[in-house]
Structure 1
């Protein structure tokens, strides 16, 4: 399964072809559970898009493609609202673009105001027109590493490295982008930069770009037009292009699951929390007698297990399936790291028998072993924690 997270409507003035309604109806026709609208610089089409998505049974994801005016160059980012605060920050950034002194949103914003309004947003690196891909294409590796670190610090645990593959010649570049993301322990996400619905609309998109640039079609730069394959592709059409990176396709669903604001559902979390409370109290009542304090711990464990299972099942239904392989991989990583920690703590207990000495030493050493093993097994939590600390210090 796949969700489009980088799509333009005709509110991307003289760039996108379809209306927000047409995009939403196309997603519903293909059975996609969610869809993001990421028009250039503005949110004018957001209301039409949101209401249509709700009408046709597609979860609307509200986003924005914004240009970053960096000292090293100009490039785009995709920002998606995770919650109400994120939506407010999208509105503020769009307003800053529209009211900039130069009156040209295409010239973008400096990165500083974007970083100041990063809360509640998920960031994608922008694809071929993003700064990251530009640096890689120019073999400016130092700039690419620095930019990726800056983004990771600004959007800790909310940054995805965007992959786009429109033609066979793109594979080498896609591999280079994916390699860099792996070095920084960042997740990949596949997008397609949708500008029209069907192949026959590609000439119309080129004509719109020619009008926008006030340039004849014959001399129009490829940089100013969408790729000929930038149509509303199906999951089946995109799967072969990302055969080497299936997790990039799966992560589109992960992102959709994280954007609860677009799902417009606050009751489900409340009922799930109530279920956890009832199970925890009931289990504690029956277990604390025979097991003492251990019964309280076991009751909490049972309640959290049931809560997690219910949440996974509900998201599986809402998002037309979850990546169970990725979930199993994450759970296996945690279990292996916990097993290693347990072995180390057991070994410490063999030598340190005094409780007052054993507890702090075993907790400290065991915790470090767990974090190290989790990191070596590919976990992303430690880099995310480091990024959060750095961001807190900077603020």
Structure 2
């Protein structure tokens, strides 16, 4: 039996459902995107350039990032003292800005391999990923050049986490001898990698984050590129909508007991949570997992307690027609939402400093429910250079592999390709309570 729950809060990858392919979602909604790639590729500088050139930075903010009379754009996002001292990004920094076309939420993900877990957290809820490539670090005169391992790793992780739109931005081309040759050769290497990894790329473009070339305003003819600037491309990307057609599933986050609002709850408890899939409306039959009891939804409230149907991606309060045992961490599932299972096969992005080995037991967080999970076996490890699947007995830090897990209690899971919420788990060390890995369900 489980004696107690970990007290450390963990961010669950896949906090929102992406049920449609890029291009079929909402073009007008705010776009949440991240910048990622290898260390010192210019991610923080790129975001700073986007903020400055789109007039999203006040004069006093610009004055605060002056160094030796020049503006250090990276300081607009590197807010931790350790980041400013070392000149690196450690944690994810979120920034907000808007253009006449749309609103944006930007996440500056760290490039260091040891902070890959922070990049995974940021990518789990992103609508797009801009993978930066530093041209000066590559053998750009060579048409058969090799990409940096962290560039490949971040692109693979973004694809595994089902980020709908992936964009490659080749940076620092102003600092190479022949920018056109460099752009063409690096673009070719990226295309070969994306094709072998099964990654759909929405665009590959040349930029200079330092000087602003092709970031906000187009730089016509540069590198013989005639396409949109990075900002223009981001303005065109769609935000994929949640799947409203699937059966309803809701992870219970909070139980409001004996509500005083008798007119909205009929004196019954209200179960609050964000709808993971489908549309919740009165009259539906739901089953409580793990209890197994069924009840009919008497009323559905939105986030301001207005009674009406609530679709996936939005918070809802559910009032049932009778009292059943429901607690935080339980799931309310409509018929056909998901079949509970104790054995799952998952792709795991391993983030802990200690390697993953068969036989170890971890906490698994699914929605808001904690269960114990034992690593039954490690099927294979993915080689990020060759993309081959090799047999493995352990997964070292920042490795990606295929793992079989046995759960202490059944969970209602779906393959991650069907649902980012129902198909994702966070693995947490039972002793230290540190986030150990992100598990993406392949099958139950």
| Structure 1 or 2: more strand by fraction | 2
* TM-score after normalising by structure 2: 0.30
| Structure 1 or 2: more helix by fraction | 1
